[in-house]
Amino acid sequence: MPSYTGPTDDLQFVIHDVLDVPAQDVPGYSDLDRDFTAAILGEAARISTEVIAPLNAIGDQHGVSLENGVVRTPPGFKKAFDQLREGGWTGLDCDPDYGGQGMPYILSVATGEMFSAANQAFMMYPGLTHGAYSAIHAHGSDGQKAMFLPKMVSCEWTGTMNLTEPQCGTDLGLMRSKAVPQEDGSYSITGTKIFISAGDHDMADNVIHLVLAKIPGGPDGIKGVSLFIVPKFIVKDDGTLGDLNGVSVGKVEEKMGIHGNATCVMNYDGSTGYLLGDAHKGMRAMFTMMNEARLGVGMQGLSQAVAAYQNAVIYARERLQGRDVTGVKNPDGPADPIIVHPDVRRMLMDQKSFIEGARAFGLWGSTMIDRARATGDEEAEAMISLLTPVLKGFLTDQGYDMTVQAQQIFGGHGYIEEQGMSQFTRDARITMIYEGANGVQALDLVGRKLGLKGGKTALAFFDLIKSFCKDNAGDAEIDAQFIEPLKASSKQLQEAAMFFMQSGMKNPNHALAGSYDFMHLFGHVCLGYMWSRMAVAAKSKLEEGTGDAAFYKTKLVTGRYYMSRRLPATAMHLQRILSGADPVMALDEDQF
Amino acid sequence: MPSYTGPTDDLQFVIHDVLDVPAQDVPGYSDLDRDFTAAILGEAARISTEVIAPLNAIGDQHGVSLENGVVRTPPGFKKAFDQLREGGWTGLDCDPDYGGQGMPYILSVATGEMFSAANQAFMMYPGLTHGAYSAIHAHGSDGQKAMFLPKMVSCEWTGTMNLTEPQCGTDLGLMRSKAVPQEDGSYSITGTKIFISAGDHDMADNVIHLVLAKIPGGPDGIKGVSLFIVPKFIVKDDGTLGDLNGVSVGKVEEKMGIHGNATCVMNYDGSTGYLLGDAHKGMRAMFTMMNEARLGVGMQGLSQAVAAYQNAVIYARERLQGRDVTGVKNPDGPADPIIVHPDVRRMLMDQKSFIEGARAFGLWGSTMIDRARATGDEEAEAMISLLTPVLKGFLTDQGYDMTVQAQQIFGGHGYIEEQGMSQFTRDARITMIYEGANGVQALDLVGRKLGLKGGKTALAFFDLIKSFCKDNAGDAEIDAQFIEPLKASSKQLQEAAMFFMQSGMKNPNHALAGSYDFMHLFGHVCLGYMWSRMAVAAKSKLEEGTGDAAFYKTKLVTGRYYMSRRLPATAMHLQRILSGADPVMALDEDQF
């Protein structure tokens, strides 16, 4: 069975040596000194390894079942969920007014990477709850907040997000669910929602559904969509639970992966719902938490890559097969461990260099969310909005590929379920789809985010890289191995953006046909930037002579791999982009 | 549930318009006129659609089970297997002396693509049998051939290949299975083999296992391995079946996919085996059928991409979501079909341009096998040996990626099992692993095949492309869109090969660290070459004014897509290769 170890040293490196979080002028950050974060991360790592990870394969094998209308979770899930609750982990970054720990979001992301790596399907129950908490916290009335938030922070009640319907996925304007106003100010909700993660289960007393629906007579399409709180059990004024609220599970889906999470068809049949935020402004309410939710899914993609990688390393060290062509390494054994083989190394280095770069990218993004949240900084908000589709799309696409590669290292043993490597792949696959399929992320990036503030945010990103390159030039090794390739890739990204601006005016399809490549080009530049920052930090630590020299040297070697072996993908993406819409759109529809 | 339609028009195009098979001086080819191949392909397509494809999801859902020592196949498998047998499909290219149809191998590959696309797990039963047939046909004594081949050609008895043991996968020298000579000239076989596809089942009267084992006292390692025929039931001299032969199924593996095929742990306990070929020359016997077997797996990778693509096209035409940004296409509907969106188009074009290029590549390769088989042509044998790792590695890697992309077009509907898109991905995944994991293919390519005949075969490949470019220059459109990019990519491939030659002498790891990228670079050049040949053929047909003009125009458009959007990957692979072994090998083993 696979194992998992929380990468606390690497998280500490990024938080302190690279981002120097405690020194940033964001409220709450000054408390995050090295010892404090070490304590939090260490405990989260322990829970991940000891409590959550052992349930990962169990969840995959048992899955969930629908019994008499209630979803049963796999053996052990409830007990582990209790431990997560009791430790206060479900409310780590939540508002202390409602029982949260009030910690910065970055700690939630750092611990979340570990929890999710240990068991993605399990962590979706508190994960979805956190999303619903954020929506109610941002848009709820005082009464709604008082009624729902304390129980959701503690996960005594969990939450869900209900957007999709059979005929309506990305295009939410096609929604049919109806919300009819009642005399008491509530709404009667009727409709069917599909793909509702954590839609029902036996680990909490109530499930608080956030449901998008249309109030009859409102504007057509997406502009007429409102958001409602629909509890599974009516909550009485004294906070106790009343009757079932016409909410039922129509079906639990059989899926490729995340078997431990209940993906439900939810039927609402005249259910009582409470308008959350303004009528017809449901999409706006959803958007406020979209950056967080999407960054969270990006981190899930990364987390599966981490778990898969760790097990691939163990296997590559233990599995004896063939001999090192440059000289036998294990003369007393029947063969050398496969980690000696260059192509196995290539796979491990691909994974390692992606993982550490992506981790830094996710944590860097989290600092922007903390800044925007705590100070209302508009530039931070704009920058994370620009980067969010990249974080979601690039990290999940690449994260998935890395799980496939980790599985490959096991050969045939990776294909049988017994070893657990297949599960990482099957679980990671959903991250490319949910919370906006990655093609939609690319569309969001090119269609909306690139033009944010008239393009100023994109320019600010390029300036950031330019300044970094300028400020850190001078060290011959860093220049050649990091700064120069970073500059070149950033220039390619600018060239692509320029092409979109110029050709997109003639035909928007020129930009749309290149959007996916642009997202990946952007992702590589971000990881190149992260690796350059990590290299500078590692080098400076080495020169200071403090800390673990082997760790910092490894950073430089791993970063060099990324810059020389992964970053060259940018030129290919640019070339594809510059070929424009023509090759993509030239075929008649009936010729496919 | 997914559907499948055999791509007979495209197969005909490649066989006749591109390769002009009937005109090639290969025995048997002159019979393959257009009407004849149309009849064969049409009937194979019908069986694929009507008989085999409907069992694909059933096989996935039911899987196989071990009951009282016998493997039970999914409902419907036996009846379909009977139909395949009765139609003579299992012996299509087999020796007429043993009941085969004696058709050229290329027809087996063309029909096999369709059968495998319809149901990969099911087709592995006759597929493995064909492999065992080939080995016995090539190396068996007259008595062995007479005893086993007729029943294997008809698939009354099926076959298996037993190589892997728990401690021994790629490195077959670590084998522990023993073959002790008996007084009657047979051997007593004892050992455990794992991952034995089609290891047992209820669709045939006997299973003929080909088992690699060591005769005690023979040479150490791989040089002491011999190949044995070990029937499940002893075959008596009169051809009837006798006792069980100490062969038992230890376990049926739970796998990520190909659930309909029994992947068995096989235990041999003093089983009677008959030496096939010479003692200690088992590996040589295996190698003789390796090109075919690996090309076959490459075609499996392609076939899953085809099946997934066809269903993605149907979905993209039916699913209404969003509007074409350049103008509404379906004004009477609530939204436009998603095939209007450029990023959906990109995914479909990626798939289509891969599929058609790969199909041509596989069929081109088959002509070399036919030529080598029928005429003993050493150059054809060498060329297919060079191309085999590319066919296997590139087609399965890319084929898998294409199934992932097809699944992506379905969004959330692609992740639930109900739609069947997950199965294509899960089934395709094994093709990257079995019959030599793709990293091993890359090693074979760079370590052995590139130096075949002192490098003359590789040079012959480059000459082939050079001649083609020269012979077909002159048409401005073809030059710009096909010949020039092909030339450039072929030059990059040569540069990479040159780098290996020069740097590999200093350190073999320089070549090994770039082997995987080299395999992909090579694959792209092959598909670029195929697309250029197809473009020339299509253009010539258009100029002649014969045939289906829309079909030929579509070819040119699809080819142009490949050349401008897919082929640019070659530069990236070259750049990675040229970075050498250093970034790959620099890390200490304990720093992963």
Beta strand B233-235 with B241-244 is antiparallel
Homologous superfamily of the B289-436 domain (CATH):
Butyryl-CoA Dehydrogenase, subunit A, domain 3 (1.20.140.10)
Contact present, B233 and B239 (Cβ < 8 Å): no
The alpha carbon of residue B508 is apart from the nearest alpha carbon of chain A, in Å, by 7
Q: Closest approach of chain A CAs to the CA of B440, in angstroms?
A: 9
CATH of segment(s) A158-280: 2.40.110.20
CA distance B46 to A140: 60
Banded model confidence at residue B589, pLDDT cuts 50, 70, 90: very high
Cβ-Cβ contacts under 8 Å, B257 against chain A? 415
Is B343's CB within 8 Å of A516's CB?
yes
Residue of B nearest to A60 (CA): B256
Would you give the DSSP letter of residue A324?
-
CA distance B162 to B280: 16
In this complex, which of B169, B415, B585 lies closest to A342 when CB atoms are compared? B585
Q: Which of A256, A434, A524, A557 to mutate to test the interface with B (most CBs of B within 10 A)?
A: A256
Q: Which residue of B has its CA nearest to A335?
A: B174
Q: How far is A445 from chain B (nearest CA, A)?
A: 13
Q: Identify the residue among B572, B574, B579 best suited for mutation to test binding to A, counting A beta carbons within 10 A and taking the highest.
A: B572
Q: In chain B, what residues touch A583 (CB-CB under 8 Å)?
A: 349, 557, 560-561, 564-565
Return all residues near A470 (Cβ < 8 A) that are at least 6 apart. Answer: none
Instruction: State the DSSP string of B522-577.
Output: HHHHHHHHHHHHHHHHHHHHHHHT-S-HHHHHHHHHHHHHIIIIITTHHHHHHHHH
Among all chains, which residue has been given the structure tokens 């810059």?
A563
* Architecture, CATH, for domain B156-280: Beta Barrel (2.40)
CB-based contact B568 A568, cutoff 8 Å:
no
Residue positions of B annotated with a catalytic role: 435
Residue in chain B lying closest to A421 (CA): B256
Q: Identify which of A313, A433, A557 has the shortest CB distance to residue B414.
A: A433
pLDDT at A71: 97
Give pLDDT tens digits for B176-191: 999 999 999 999 999 9
Measured between CA atoms, the residue of chain B closest to residue A320 is: B167
Q: Name the burial class of residue B95, with classes exposed (0-12), middle (13-18) and buried (19+) by CB atoms within 10 angstroms of its CB.
A: middle
What average pLDDT score do residues B275-286 get?
93
Residues of A in Cβ contact (< 8 Å) with B170: 321-322, 411
Question: What value does the mean pLDDT take over residues B444-471?
Answer: 97
Q: Which residues contact B448 (CB under 8 A, 6 or more apart)?
A: none
Chain B residue whose CA is closest to A417: B255
Which of 1.10.540.10, 3.30.420.40, 3.30.1440.10, 3.60.10.10 is the CATH number of B8-137? 1.10.540.10
Contact A150, A94 (CB under 8 A): no
Is the CB of B575 less than 8 angstroms away from the CB of A591?
no
Which pLDDT belongs to residue B492? 98
Q: Measure CB to CB from residue B411 to each of A346, A433, A509 and give the nearest one.
A: A433
% of chain B with per-residue pLDDT over 70: 100
Query: Residue A240, exposed/middle/buried by CB under 10 A (0-12, 13-18, 19+)?
Result: exposed
- The catalytically annotated residue of A435, A477, A544, A589 is A435
Enumerate the residues of chain A whose CB falls inside 8 A of the CB of residue B171: 320-322, 335
Q: Looking at the complex, report in whole angstroms how far the Cα of residue B10 sits from the nearest Cα belonging to chain A.
A: 12
Helical residues (DSSP H) of A332-437, grouped into ranges: 342-375, 378-409, 412-415, 421-429
A435 is known as an active-site residue: yes
Q: In B119-267, where does DSSP find H-type helix?
A: 120-139, 142-153
Q: How much is the pLDDT for A234? A: 98
Residues of chain A with pLDDT under 70: none
List of chain B residues whose C-beta atoms are within 8 Å of the C-beta of residue A326: 507-509
N- to C-terminal Cα separation, chain B: 44
Summarize pLDDT for A426-474 with one digit per residue, the tens: 999 999 999 999 999 999 999 999 999 999 999 999 999 999 999 999 9
Interface test with A, best of B355, B421, B587 (most A CBs within 10 A): B587
Residue A439 and residue B515: Cβ atoms within 8 Å?
A: no
Residues of A in contact with B579 (CB under 8 A): 564-565
Tell me what the mean pLDDT of segment B87-94 comes to: 97
pLDDT of B288 higher than 80: no
Count of CB atoms within 10 A of residue B319's CB? Answer: 22
Residues of B in contact with A321 (CB under 8 A): 168-171, 174
Residue of A247, A250, A120, A264 lying closest to A195 (CA atoms):
A264
Q: How many angstroms separate the CA atoms of A18 and A137, rounded? A: 32
Grade residue B286 by pLDDT with cuts at 50, 70 and 90. confident
**Band of the pLDDT at B513, cuts 50, 70, 90?**
very high
Q: Do B164 and A554 touch (CB under 8 A)?
A: no
The secondary structure of B369-386 as a DSSP string is HHHHHHH--HHHHHHHHH
Give the closest residue to B118 by CA, choosing from B38, B238, B4.
B4
At A583 the three-state DSSP class reads helix
User: What is the reported pLDDT for A289?
Assistant: 83
Going from the C-alpha of A139 to that of each of A108, A143, A276, the distances in angstroms are 21, 11, 6
Q: Do A572 and B576 touch (CB under 8 A)?
A: no
Which of A430, A438, A569 is opposite residue B415, by nearest beta carbon? A430
Q: Nearest by CB to B253, which of A195, A416, A437?
A: A416
CB contact (8 A) between residue A564 and residue B581: no
